[in-house]
Structure formats: structure tokens, C-alpha cells
Amino acid sequence: MTTTTSSAPPRTVSSVASTLAEKIAPSDLAGQGAWDNNSRIPWQAWPLSLLGAFLFLVVLPWMAHGAGM
């Protein structure tokens, strides 16, 4: 019977965290992109967000109350 073992070096928490951070937001892309072009929220988003908040905070509870919940 043959037994095989692998001897990987132990990874520290900081190396695991830096590897994970590099996968989420690569450092070679930091500061690049079109942030300046997209820094403002479009005007269409404001009324739609207010409508969504109204539906979630007023209409859905009112419907749940009417349904006997």
C-alpha cells in the first residue's frame, strides 16, 4: 500500500486576505476606468427610487394588512 502526502506551506490569514482582495479588485486596475464619466446618479433613478420606497414601505404593508396578515 502506498501512502502519498502533500506538503503545502501553511498560508497565513494575511496572505489569504490579500489573495481574496486581489481577486475582487485587482490592484493593476485601481484608478482606471470610467468613474469620472459615471460619477453622477442619472436623474431617472431618483423618481424610481422614491416609487420603490413608497411601494415597499406603504403599499406592501397595506396589502398585507388587507389580506389579514
Say if residue 65's pLDDT is above 80: yes
Distance of CA 59 to the CA centre of its chain: 27
C-alpha–C-alpha distance, residues 66 and 16, integer Å = 51
pLDDT given at position 24: 73
Say if residue 4's pLDDT is above 80: no
C-alpha cell at 36: 469620472
pLDDT given at position 56: 92
pLDDT tens digits, 6-62: 666 667 877 887 777 777 766 665 555 555 555 677 788 889 999 999 999 999 898
pLDDT given at position 39: 61
pLDDT given at position 53: 94
